Amino acid sequence: MTTGGRIIGWGTALPDKVLTNDDLSAMMDTNDQWITERTGIKRRHVGGSTSSLSVASAQRAIAMAGVDPSSIDVLVLSTTTPDRTVPATSATVQNALGLRCGAFDVNAACSGFVYAYVIAHGLLSIGAKRALVIGTDTLSRITDWSDRGTAILFADGSGACVVDATADSGQLLGWDLDADGSLEHLLYAEVGGSIHMDGKEVFRRAVRIMVDSAHKSLAKAGLGVDDVALCVPHQANARIIDAACRQLGIPLERTAVVLHETGNTSSASIPLALFDAADRGRLNDGDIVLMVGFGAGMTAASAVVEWRKP
Ligand code: ACO
């Protein structure tokens, strides 16, 4: 039997500073009604650094897991907004947490947390015993606050979990990682620059690639959409989530949504929605969870997980 993994603790962190749609309306030519109708976002949190938010969410995850930090033998940090170009932000986080283990960053934009979670399972399958997986972004640092086409969407946040190796095949039942670099021009930021985006085209492609990736993961797990108790999509835009879930045939009652409170936090988006659902008691033992994301690259990633309460 292949060694698998199981989440034994999680934590999230959001900066204290909140920007409402009305706050943005005072900064640029936009309004609450437009943002709400076109995106579903009402407010977002901004501030802090990728390392400080990562440390905060990871400390909560480690405390919930009730484990000694020294027992963690690999740290995978998903971020598209590192504190510095060199070294990887995971080095700063590892030191602040007092870990002594392999640590590295993964950048797959908004699909990054699922990439990191799947990579951690690969390491568990070849001998790692305990992984810390973090998804953090501080997109406010690379947002052009004079561009109403992007500034209304992006924000900051972090989500982390401790994943233990299991003697059995664990809770990851199926996964899919994808990328199409020929579409990189649709969403990019040069080094030191801010995000440029063809919003309409990203929207159109996002729905298709999320649905495609979800079907691939479910097929690998030998499951269908009717088996999914909770779908946790990337929190980019409520209309993208609606369209993708409609095409998948998953009703919104079985979908985790926090973006009205968080905006698009990229790597933090899926863990913020997943752990919010878990904290609210929406997940029971044996529930099938489908995480599905898309992002710049254009990347896509999904994972089918059998939920087990820690
Ligand atoms: N406030 C008011 N009006 C606005 C705003 C705004 N913030 N932004 C645009 N408008 C105007 C436009 O100028 C346009 O006016 P016009 O008709 O007079 O020309 C009108 O509103 C419609 O603009 P569209 O761009 O067509 O609006 P759309 O419905 O496409 O929504 C949005 C724009 C919200 C950006 C949408 O395209 C979207 O969400 N796309 C996906 C973006 C996304 O998910 N990105 C993240 C990817 S993940 C990652 O890796 C970071």
Q: Is the CB of 200 under 6 A from ligand 1?
A: yes
Asked if residue 116 and residue 207 are part of one domain, the reply reads: no
Asked if residue 152 and residue 297 are part of one domain, the reply reads: no
| Residue 1 in this model has a pLDDT that exceeds 70 | no
Asked if residue 66 and residue 214 are part of one domain, the reply reads: no
Tell me, in angstroms, the distance from the centre of ligand 1 to residue 199's CA.
6
Asked if residue 106 and residue 69 are part of one domain, the reply reads: yes
CA atoms of 235 and 260, how far apart (whole Å): 9
- What is residue 299's predicted lDDT score, i.e. its pLDDT? 98
Q: Is the CB of 38 under 6 A from ligand 1?
A: yes
Asked if residue 120 and residue 44 are part of one domain, the reply reads: yes
CA atoms of 273 and 232, how far apart (whole Å): 7
Span 137-172, pLDDT tens digits? 999 999 999 999 999 999 999 999 999 999 999 999
What average pLDDT does this structure show over 58-85?
97
Q: Best substitution site from 37, 139, 200, 241 to test ligand 1's pocket, by max atoms within 8 Å of Cβ?
A: 200
DSSP 95-146: HHHT--SEEEEE--GGGHHHHHHHHHHHHHHTT--EEEEEEEEEGGGG--TT
> What tokens appear for 107 in the block?
């950048």
156 neighbors 163 (Cβ within 8 angstroms): no
- The number of folded domains in the chain is 2
Asked if residue 94 and residue 147 are part of one domain, the reply reads: yes
**Residue 217's domain spans which residues?**
172-306
- What is residue 286's predicted lDDT score, i.e. its pLDDT? 97
Span 259-275, pLDDT tens digits? 999 999 999 999 999 99
Asked if residue 161 and residue 178 are part of one domain, the reply reads: no
What average pLDDT does this structure show over 26-48?
97
Q: Has 264 been annotated as catalytic?
A: yes
CATH number at residue 193: 3.40.47.10
Rounded mean pLDDT of the chain? 97
Q: Which of 133, 166, 199 is the last residue of a domain?
A: 166
154 DSSP 8-state letter: B
Asked if residue 156 and residue 238 are part of one domain, the reply reads: no
Q: Which of 130, 148, 166 is the last residue of a domain?
A: 166
- What is residue 2's predicted lDDT score, i.e. its pLDDT? 67
Q: Is the CB of 7 under 6 A from ligand 1?
A: no
Rounded to the nearest 5 degrees, what angle is found at the Cα of 276, between the Cα atoms of 272 and 281? 155
Asked if residue 144 and residue 10 are part of one domain, the reply reads: yes
